[in-house]
Amino acid sequence: MVEHRPWNDIIAYAILTLGVFIVAFPVYVAVIASTHDAATVVGGRMPLSPGGHALENYYRAIFVGGSRTAPEPVGQLLLNSFISAIGIAVGKICISILSAYAVVYFRFPFRKTAFWIIFVTLMLPVEVRIYPTYKVVADLRMLDTYAGLILPLIASATGTLLFRQFFMTVPDELLEASRIDGAGPFRFFWDTLLPLSVTTISALFVIQFIYGWNQYLWPLLITTQDSMQTIVTGIKKMLVTTDELAEWQLAMATAVLAMLPPVAVVIFMQRLFVRGLVETEK
Amino acid sequence: MANVVLRDVRKTYTGGFEAIKGIDFEVGDGQFCVLVGPSGCGKSTLLRMVAGLETITSGDIDIGGRIVNQIEPADRDIAMVFQNYALYPHMTVYNNMAYGLRNRRMPEPEIDTRVQEAARILELGTMLDRKPKQLSGGQRQRVAMGRAIVRQPKVFLFDEPLSNLDAKLRIAMRVEIRKLQRRLKTTSIYVTHDQLEAMTLADILVVMNGGRVEQIGNPLDIYQKPATTFVASFIGAPPMNLMPLRSDEISAQFAGDSRAASEAGILGIRPEDFIISSETIVGGIALDLTVEAIERVGAETFIYGTRQHEIQGVAANPGELPPGEVIVRIPGAVAPAIGERIKAVAPRESLHLFSADGRKRIDL
């Protein structure tokens, strides 16, 4: 529908602007709050213009840590988050591309069953199976380790389904040409299927990186040492205080820092991400 | 260099559907064999069985004196050109051609020699660094052929390689494939549903229908002496006119011929064997027709007529003429008017007689 009525445009822009404002204003407040000193933020009247303590706040957040409430500097938490998010994203991609390859290209007994079992796990996210998962991880002595943060979140059906759908669009003749060209199952996967999957892999990477980065419940459960926390659980800890004021300016600086990596991943991989989700030409 | 021999080859799918019902033929060393037939006749399945992409239920396939039933496609020493080309989209033209050689651990200088040579033959020299996406249909087709050539296999297999091209390019590529095959002298098996392609390319033509071979032979022999009514109507365009030999005006014209009268049930005449004349030919046949439609294509004209004594109806199979309708092909553009009554006559030597079920040819 193409219409050119000035009022329509004005209303549309007004609604869009309002939407952007609703989303962006809290982020703006967080950025502003991270540039003032503690007294100003706690004082109750938050200014809406930047203050002069930005460098000091970010330096303390990253390298020193909050005075009492959150002794671990954010630098360590960022690293933890980064390792587990990368681990989850890469691990998921490896597992799901291989399982999709098996399900699509190999004829083995109970192939359909295997596929349906994978499919059914879609209904069982971490939150639902959290007690047994915790028990397994604890028994394997993986509490407070990166393996414990990463492994339970790796297995999931979404990636397998995405790759399966993609593999089904790859023409059979390509496999047959590979067979005639003397490429075995591994060579076909490595030389042909993997390069064709690059955009799908990128799309999945973006989704899973953000999924891993934003994990809250699971890291909260299995990390007890401050040095193993992720940044998302770290922010929460900064605000829980018993007998003194929370250092809001540091919490806000941490929140801003926590936002940056996912934003960077989306910005840098946006082009591939969109192509991976919409690509049809093979 | 090798010959290909098929001995009682059969294919039954797990559901019980029998796609190939016992096929025997031999393609001699360096010959160009074309499998032709309507869609679903099993020709592609048969080719894929030779390639090793489909299993063989029973029978033997022998390439160069070695039974290959249980051998992997890569080890059969064949190369295949696919209908949709099946080029690796992420590889350059050069790598598409070199891939199969690299998998065989051929030394890189030798690969380069072979790819450059294939590129020269196929005039792809300037496109070696491009990706398939940047090529036209005809160029992709050439790359697919190049990928087959560099392997220097014993046998080339072509699975309807021209059907994705436009009409003009198809004719040009057809000639090129033929020239290339003559030059390389590689045994080839080519699948097509286009009878014109089949006629022009084949040394040996295998006409298939319903999983069986209808006729094998030199294309011209098949054209001139079709063994069954299926072959008669499939090879040649427009198709051969087939009409029942009943106790009417036609059978009356065979009154003196006892064999024809006793065994034959169907009479066939090619459209180009008719002439329009008011005089009958001794021993030949004359049909009284009413002109229904005329197609002028320049060098020749097709006249669609109905026989006056025949009941009108619809064709039993697609591609066949409805009963009572006759096509006459005459050279030039001068033709009778629609509705005019004409007499089409054909000499005795251009008549084809078949048994009533159409499965057997009866020579006069």
pLDDT by residue (tens digit) across A151-174?
A: 988 877 888 988 999 999 999 999
According to DSSP, the residues that pair with B195 across neighbouring strands are: none
According to DSSP, the residues that pair with B307 across neighbouring strands are: B289
Tokens standing for residue B294: 């005329």
- Quick check: B44 and B34 in contact, CB under 8 A? no
Q: Which of B92, B102, B105, B160 to mutate to test the interface with A (most CBs of A within 10 A)?
A: B102
Out of A180, A187, A282, closest to residue B80 by CB: A180
Closest-CA residue in chain B for A172? B86
Closest-CA residue in chain B for A192? B88
Q: What is the pLDDT of residue B260?
A: 59
The residues, any chain, with a CB within 8 Å of residue B249's CB and separated by 6 or more, are B288, B309
d(CA B136, CA B330): 39
CA B294 to mean position of chain CA atoms? 27
DSSP class per residue in A108-128: -TTHHHHHHHHHHGGG--TTT
Question: How sure is the predictor about A274, in pLDDT bands with cuts at 50, 70 and 90?
Answer: confident
Say if residue A281's pLDDT is above 50. Answer: no
A166 CA: distance to closest CA in chain B (Å): 15
Out of A173, A181, A195, closest to residue B90 by CB: A195
Question: How sure is the predictor about A69, in pLDDT bands with cuts at 50, 70 and 90?
Answer: low
Interface of A with B in 118-177 (CB under 8 A): 171, 173-174, 176-177
According to DSSP, the residues that pair with B5 across neighbouring strands are: B26, B62
CB contacts, 8 Å: A174 with chain B: 86, 88
| Contact with chain B for residue A180, Cβ under 8 A | yes
Out of A173, A176, A187, closest to residue B103 by CB: A187
Q: Which of B45, B53, B147 to mutate to test the interface with A (most CBs of A within 10 A)?
A: B53
Q: What is the pLDDT of residue A282?
A: 42
| Contact with chain B for residue A187, Cβ under 8 A | yes
According to DSSP, the residues that pair with B294 across neighbouring strands are: B303
Residue numbers in chain B where pLDDT is lower than 70: 1, 246-262, 308-321
pLDDT by residue (tens digit) across A213-248?
A: 999 889 988 888 888 888 888 888 777 766 666 778
d(CA B120, CA B173): 16
Residue ranges of chain B whose CB lies within 8 Å of a chain A CB: 51-53, 72-75, 78-80, 82-84, 86-90, 99-100, 103-104, 147
What's the whole-number mean pLDDT along residues A10-35? 91
d(CA A209, CA A83): 10
Out of A171, A174, A179, closest to residue B73 by CB: A179
Q: What is the pLDDT of residue A276?
A: 66
| pTM summary value | 0.82
pLDDT by residue (tens digit) across A91-127?
A: 999 999 999 999 999 988 998 898 898 888 888 887 8
Q: What is the pLDDT of residue A24?
A: 92
Provide the mean pLDDT of chain A.
85
d(CA B115, CA B53): 25
Say if residue A4's pLDDT is above 50. Answer: yes
